[in-house]
Amino acid sequence: MAELEGLEFGKSDFVLLDEVTMEQFMENLRLRFEKGRIYTYIGEVVVSVNPYRQMDIYGKDTIEAYRGRELYENPPHLYAVSDAAYKAMKRRAKDTCIVISGESGAGKTEASKYIMQYIAAITNPSQRAEVESVKNVLLKSNCVLEAFGNAKTNRNDNSSRFGKYMDINFNFNGDPTGGHINNYLLEKSRVVHQQEGERNFHSFYQLLRGGSEETLAAFHLQNDPAVYVYTKEGAATVTSNNDRTSHKAVISALEVIGFSKEEINSIYQILASILLLGNLQFESDGESVQILGQEAVNQISELTATEPESVSKTLLYRTVACFGFITALYERLFGWIVGRINTVIEVKDYNPVLHGKNTVIGVLDIYGFEIFDNNSFEQFCINYCNEKLQQLFIELILQQEQAEYQREGITWQHIDYFNNQIIVDLVEQPHKGIISILDEACLTVGNVTDTVCLDSMDTKLAQHPHYTSRKLSPSDKSMEFQKHFRIRHYAGDVTYSVEGILDKNKDLLFQDFKRLMYNSTNPVLKEMWPDGQLSITEVTKRPLTAATLFKNSIVALVDKLACKEPYYVRCIKPNEMKSPMLFDDARCQHQVAYLGLLENVMVRRAGFAYRQPYARFLQRYKMTCEYTWPNHLMASDREAVEAIVTQHGFQDDVAYGHTKLFVRTPRSLFTLEQERAALIPILVLFLQKVWRGALARMRCRRMRAIYAIMGCYKRYKVKAHFWEVERRFANVRNMADYGKSVEWPTPPAALAQFHKNTVMLHRRWWARQIVKKIPPSDMLEVRAKVAALTALSGERKDWGISRAWERDYLANARDCPQTSSGFIRVSKELRNKDEYSQVLFSGFCRKVNRFNKSTDRSLLVTDKFVYKLEPKKQYKVMKRLPLDAFTGLSLTSGVDQMVVLHTSSEDDVLLCLQRGVLCPNQDRVGELVGALVDHFTRCNFTVDHLQLTVQQPAVQLHMRGKLKSVTVETKPGQAAADFKKSRDGFILLFPGN
């Protein structure tokens, strides 16, 4: 830390002073202030001097520089102590708090805002929407509470006129999940009276100067604060606050927090009502009191949603209590706003089992010690609060620390310090303290005045060294008889006035005022006054006085802070002129003295920065020593801790207590944290490796079990399928259709291919059983029909499957009796000559040549040659072509008998088969195709050798190498098919029905 800043900036930690004296302390503080170093450490306590100017040390780069760093790694800063509190909360799951103290105008409010901004900036790295919402509400609440709870005083342009303590709840990840705000002793008397040069609360001026014309007109207001009694004192005061801009920011903040438009409107209606009430005028004729101007009453009635008659009656009946009603109205408004914010940010339905431990960081920003020319009940309570906080500081930092050294047997030289317990007792001691005397006076029956109360205090506290009055010190003319008393506070002597002190302590508000507000039709206003539902005849328990209520709340606050690990920001006001250049030595020295900063330096310098029970220290750092990881075998935890310290060479920087280890400097602890941080990834990887191995083995066992179950199940399904197939097909041999009608069971996925093969085997077996019954003489026809079915199925509708195929039609006497004998003779001659063994097909046809001449011919197809015969010349062979010279057949999809026989020489044969005389509807094209395809298949020709093409309406062919086209036309009434020459080929005239 010290080496990060040069010597020209002084010592960044007062513990590093060469000599701990007030002179050296003040010299170091002045030097750092003049050099722009407004923050200085006392160990982990931050001393902050108000710079009275904007400083460029709070940006994003600065936040990143302090994020996750140890306290002394960077120059002193609010961010460092904020990060230290956050790390302590997150690492040790321990509640922490940051206590900001100092005089009014020392910069406490600004410090709390920077702390909140830092915590918001370093949390929620995953940008979860619900966490961002909580952060926004926490940040925006500052803006709202400042507007309604802060005011300009002669000491401070933005003075907190209330105390605020905020608890921020964090989940186990360290992300904020909610919070709660406690407010203490709003200075409500400021609403009706301000000292010269001061202002009312900011909210009034923001409304009057920032509200739109329509809004002000609806509220019956003008945009000039000088018009209203309660704001005219500060109307001409120049402040650093831009009221118009601030008003817009407050409206936006209220909307972000979750206030509805109706609630926001109700808030400013109440402010407008207070301003109008302040301008009411009364007149008296000696017996009765009247309100001047009914219009103002009507306006107040409209804004409060009450009846005008009720407003007039209430104000006239209790005219003397009107100021109390107005201050109570603002106080209830402020309390309702705080409560409404809490309903938004409080953690609801939190389950530690599900969400992990809920830890808290508390931030206390409370009014500073005040000494005015006229100090009344409010200043008495404020200064008592500061006494309690100073007592807490003394107990935690000075008293408890020294007591712990003695308890643990650590060698220690006692350091004297001022203990303000005697002043705290003077104020709050039961039956003897000032608050008890005030309460007793308020409860006494009869006319007990402020003067009588002062006499009672003088009587009971006459011997107290820190109390005096003019009666007890007649020669002290700075006090007046029957008016003043003085308390010697830790921060200086303060003279208080008793005028009105009993009325302020009673804080009575008559029931008719409460009923008036409770009977309002405005739900927000009605909610603020639940006690107004009591009737005037109902007897209620006497309420606690204002001082007792405040004392109880402060005692509860101190108890809440005492159970947390505290971090302190001690704010110092450098001058009364709000100058960024002036450093008032006497003023600052006074603050250093009553804040106990010098004693804090002495205790810190002589003491130890860190202490921890042996077991917890060992649990956190045992991984850094080979003798203690994972578990030590030594006699006690203390010996194990000594082994860790010895291994790292910190023997001279520690002390061993009875139950705790004490570490003198943070640097030793930081070294341990660095080594631990370096080892954690290694351990994490090791644990991940072991756990991943365990998970892999678990998954492997599960997978093996799964596969075993799957295997058994698959085997069962396979067997079940086999059993079902066997059951269904057990008797197929005796069935008429050999099981063709039997439905196959759905196979399991594993048997899909096997099922297909089984079905195919059954079909083949079924076909075999059918084929076995066919006579050998019919087999040629069957094979031809099967071949034609395969080739023409789906391509040609009619192909003669339903009739008997005779193949050799020319030799059939039934077809052509007059010519069959001649053909048989020629066929025998050709068989002897060409040695073919089988006639595949024969029949009459009409053939066309390239010259467009069509003639009747006979076609003979054998297993070796194709013959074109002349039937009129005793079947003379006109042309003979080898069968293997043909490459394909073309035909149409209709009922015509046209066939094109394609040859390898591109000299194709075009012909039209003629139907038989006895059976004129015979379709012989399918028979020709079937015979050729069956023959080519059985003779092991390649599939591509004989290509079958089915086209519609025209087919393509080559004659002597030239491409021709043949189109089919139906001609009704024609006896036989005939060819006709066309422009680019031929037209087959096919007879119609």
Instruction: Pick out the residues of the known binding site for ATP.
Output: 102-109
Alpha carbon 329 to chain centroid, angstroms:
40
Note whether 81 and 44 are within 8 A (CB): yes
- Integer CA distances (angstroms), 314 to 277, 298, 331, 910, in order: 12, 14, 19, 125
Whether 837 is a known active-site residue: answer no
Beta bridge partners of 100: 365, 569
Whether 12 is a known active-site residue: answer no
Whether 156 is a known active-site residue: answer yes
Whether 27 is a known active-site residue: answer no
DSSP string, 32-93: HHHTT--EEEETTEEEEE--SS--S--SHHHHHHHTT--TTTSS--HHHHHHHHHHHHHHH-
In the set 105, 210, 278, 739, the catalytic residue is 105
In the set 50, 96, 109, 386, the catalytic residue is 109
Note whether 846 and 977 are within 8 A (CB): yes
Whether 105 is a known active-site residue: answer yes
DSSP string, 417-429: ---THHHHHHHH-
User: Exposed, middle or buried: residue 719 (CB in 10 Å: 0-12, 13-18, 19+)?
Assistant: exposed
Nearest to 371, CA basis, from 564, 552, 579, 591 = 591
Q: Would strands 159-160 and 467-469 be described as parallel, antiparallel, or unpaired?
A: unpaired
Rounded Cα distance between 393 and 391, Å, is: 5
User: Exposed, middle or buried: residue 672 (CB in 10 Å: 0-12, 13-18, 19+)?
Assistant: buried
Alpha carbon 148 to chain centroid, angstroms:
32
In the set 178, 368, 596, 800, the catalytic residue is 368
- Integer CA distances (angstroms), 661 to 409, 442, 446, 734, in order: 11, 53, 62, 99
Q: Which residue has the tokens 């921890």?
A: 612
Nearest to 438, CA basis, from 359, 500, 527 = 500
- Report the binding-site residues: 102-109
531: DSSP letter? G
In the set 141, 156, 266, 522, the catalytic residue is 156
Could you give the angle at the alpha carbon of 916 between the alpha carbons of 911 and 919, nearest 5°?
140
542: DSSP letter? P
In the set 74, 101, 104, 842, the catalytic residue is 104
In the set 112, 160, 169, 203, the catalytic residue is 160
Whether 48 is a known active-site residue: answer no
At residue 936, the 3 state secondary structure works out as helix
Residue spans of alpha helices (H) in 128-260: 129-149, 202-210, 213-218, 243-257
In the set 150, 159, 628, 890, the catalytic residue is 159
Task: Give the number of residues written for the chain.
Answer: 993
Which tokens go with 611? 């202490």
Rounded Cα distance between 464 and 437, Å, is: 14
* Secondary structure (H, E, C), 836-860: CCCEEEEEEEEEECCCCCEEEEEEE
- Integer CA distances (angstroms), 96 to 124, 173, 561, in order: 19, 16, 8
Alpha carbon 775 to chain centroid, angstroms:
85
Beta bridge partners of 989: 969, 978
Whether 319 is a known active-site residue: answer no
In the set 44, 110, 370, 599, the catalytic residue is 370
Whether 104 is a known active-site residue: answer yes
Residues with catalytic roles: 104-105, 109, 156, 159-160, 368, 370
